[in-house]
Amino acid sequence: MPTQNLYEIRAISGYKVYYYDEVPSTNDVAKEIAKRTREQKAVIIAESQTHARGRNRRHWISPRGGIWLSILLRPKVTPEEATKLTFITATAVAGTLQNTLGLATEVKWPNDVLLNRRKLCGILTEASTRENVAECVIVGIGINANIDLQSFPNNLQDSVTTLKHELGCEINRETLTRNLIQSFDQRYKRLRRGMWSALLQEWKGLAKFLGEKVVVTSFAETLVGKALDVDADGALIIKLQNGALKKVVAADVKPVALSSSG
């Protein structure tokens, strides 16, 4: 049985759909489309990507069978506001996985969706700005869907997972993608109506790492502490081992076993 069927989505209500077999990165294609069209809302989907990016320009493995897409929006907000889109996207992914497949996932600051504590989905939000206004925002979403775990290098096999690995079967990517865009759009509309606080609360309800001991690694330093909260700007607040509170705006967060806490 072929394990990686093509899926082709031509339209999702309110979003123009651009569908490709293979591209370097759907985020880059979305930027090109933003430059040459006036699309207000579009989704760029590819079966595979050759040069996909994750946060901090890390390579993102994108073989056939995954859900690799970028949402193009023109919300005319500050770049700081645009980061809120990452949070509402993560809750949209988690909600869609729950409603469509019955899977209980969790979110991890700043941009991950985890299943059984392993990374299932990553989100990369990028904005093109002029005079402190995000002229267009691209929300890139990568979901490891119908992919064998063995497709990932050995050193990642303990930290990532795929829907196929967890469920033991392939899922219908078309249904999941449609539901995801609809779920995202509902939250995007609520965000536009000023409902950020409720949306952040929703995200926090899925953030199981809050209250846990974490190692926080940024380009400047590595910190160990307890993840206390995420503030209204989306920054992570951690309580360091000396009791001081520290606000973190960009870093990787890794929960560590509480038994090793000091």
Residues 133-172 that bind ligand BTN (CB under 6 A): 140-142
Euclidean distance between CA atoms 218 and 185, whole angstroms: 31
> 41 near 15, Cβ under 8 Å?
yes
Euclidean distance between CA atoms 45 and 204, whole angstroms: 29
Could you tell me the smallest distance in angstroms from the CB atom of residue 47 to ligand BTN? 12
Q: Assess 27 for contact with ligand BTN (CB under 6 A).
A: yes
Q: Assess 123 for contact with ligand BTN (CB under 6 A).
A: yes
Q: Assess 110 for contact with ligand BTN (CB under 6 A).
A: no
In the chain, the N- to C-terminal Cα span, in Å, equals: 52
224 bridge partner residues: 215
Q: Nearer Cβ to ligand BTN, position 27 or 96?
A: 27
Give the count of beta carbons closer than 10 Å to the beta carbon of residue 174: 13
Could you tell me the smallest distance in angstroms from the CB atom of residue 62 to ligand BTN? 6
* Site track for ligand BTN across 31-70, x = CB under 6 A: ------------------x--xxxx--x-x-x-----xxx
* Site track for ligand BTN across 232-261, x = CB under 6 A: ------------------------------
213-217 and 106-108 beta bridge pairing: unpaired
Structure token digits, residue 20: 């490709």
H/E segment holding residue 143: strand 133-143
Could you tell me the smallest distance in angstroms from the CB atom of residue 141 to ligand BTN? 6
The region of 34-42, 91-99, 119-127, 128-136 touching ligand BTN under the rule CB under 6 A is 119-127
Rounded to 5 degrees, what are φ and ψ at 254? Answer: -125, 115
Which residues are near ligand BTN by CB under 6 A?
A: 25-27, 49, 52-55, 58, 60, 62, 68-70, 111-112, 122-124, 140-142
